[in-house]
Structure 1
Amino acid sequence: MISPDLTLVLGGARSGKSRHAEQLAQTRAAAQSLAVTYIATARHTGDAEFATRIDQHRARRPAHWRLIEADVDLAHAIDAADDGRTCILLDCLTLWLANVVCPADGAPTHDPETRAQALETALCRTRGPVIVVSNEIGMGVVPMGAMTRQYVDELGRLNQRIAALARDVTLMVAGLPMTVKSERIR
């Protein structure tokens, strides 16, 4: 089943995926007279360099965009944001999955399969456009360590599931968008 209006933007680190997704959200919102809700999945860790990255994302976004921070319950955040008059920008699945499989403060691990199913269900019932950002991390060498390999495998499977739902999939390479899939009515 294809989601009503779902776009997946994939790319490596610093490929331009977030900036491209933000531009897509602005364009869609303007063309359809929609508000934008930005669902952020980054967890504040006390890491100064990571906090700078979060601040850069925040500074780049228009001030009038609504912000929802969602660390694990992403399906609920999507449901809360979706009113049919909003373009949802979810950035990013990579950090969300890290929150699921490596919870803060040593809490028990959340079941990735259950969370992924809830995410798919929420995406399939959205009424407005949704743009999802995720890292493509499976193009390099096989990582050392079972936990890292498990995470790379989980993210690869999650990206495949979301790509199957999406009408459009874009791969960002060196700041350039490459169309992987497009099922939009022209």
Structure 2
Amino acid sequence: MTNRDTDVDEVPRLVLLLGGARSGKSTFAERLATTSGRSVAFIATAMAIDEDMRDRIARHQSSRPTDWRTIEEPLHLAKALRQAAAVADVVILDCLTVWLSNWLFAQGNSAQLEDDNTISAQHYAGALQEIDALLQVVSEWEPGKTLVVVSNEVGLGIVPAYALGRVYRDVLGLVNQRIAAAAIRVYLMMAGLGVDIKRLDETVRL
């Protein structure tokens, strides 16, 4: 991120924060936005479906500066990005992990998701189309605007025992790869600390 005195051409258009649960992703995203000195909008994808989630949402809301604009949108990311960019220069999207869960369940009865081979192609393609629409919106932004995307890395544990879990893990992995490829910075979060792994990446050469 940068401050107001920095040339807008140097402002990263897209930043991705990846990590496990409670790795400090949201706090890091909010710190990036706060220290930028620019106007901020927050896109929240979580829905208050139970008491625990309502408590979590309330805690997150109370921790944000009062001058931030919050847009609650569980499904339609491209639309939310357009709304956010109209009122702010820095947009936090928190998070892709919850959005994908919302999106998958919106596709139909989860009880039908029983066979990886019959559901993989349609869900992979549909989710990636949504991400491509998001990236298209960001590519059209004027210089000086930044999107900070929060997402979980869920591919480091055991293979889920049920089909929907495997599809979710696989699709989120592809979604994260698509965002990371377009991002200027990709931070891997552990214990509240972020390392820009995009800068450490080495292109494979024969």
8 Å CA contact retained: 2:20, 2:189: yes
Q: For 2:129, what is the secondary structure of its paired residue?
A: helix
Residue from 134, 146, 152 that aligns with 1:129: 146
8 Å CA contact retained: 2:44, 2:71: yes
1:39 alignment partner AA:
I
Task: Flag structure 1 segments of 5+ consecutive residues without an equivalent.
Answer: none
TM-score, reference length from structure 2: 0.78
RMSD: 2.3
Partners of 2:77 and 2:27 lie apart in 1 by: 21
Residue from 79, 88, 103 that aligns with 1:100: 103
Shift of 1:114: 2.5
The aligned residue for residue 61 of structure 2 is 58
Q: Deviations over 1:58-117 (max 9, x none)?
A: 11111110011111110011012114852101100011111111129959x983232122
Range moving further from structure 2, 83-92 or 124-133: 83-92
TM-score, reference length from structure 1: 0.86
Shift of 1:17: 0.3
Partners of 1:148 and 1:104 lie apart in 2 by: 15
8 Å CA contact retained: 1:170, 1:180: yes
Structure index of larger Rg: 2
2:128 alignment partner AA:
E
The aligned residue for residue 44 of structure 2 is 40
8 Å CA contact retained: 2:41, 2:88: no
Shift of 1:129: 1.0
Range moving further from structure 2, 68-77 or 116-125: 116-125
Range moving further from structure 2, 61-70 or 48-57: 48-57
Structure richer in strand, relative to its length:
1
Task: Flag structure 2 segments of 5+ consecutive residues without an equivalent.
Answer: 1-10, 111-121, 201-206
Match status 1:24 vs 2:27 = no
The aligned residue for residue 76 of structure 1 is 79
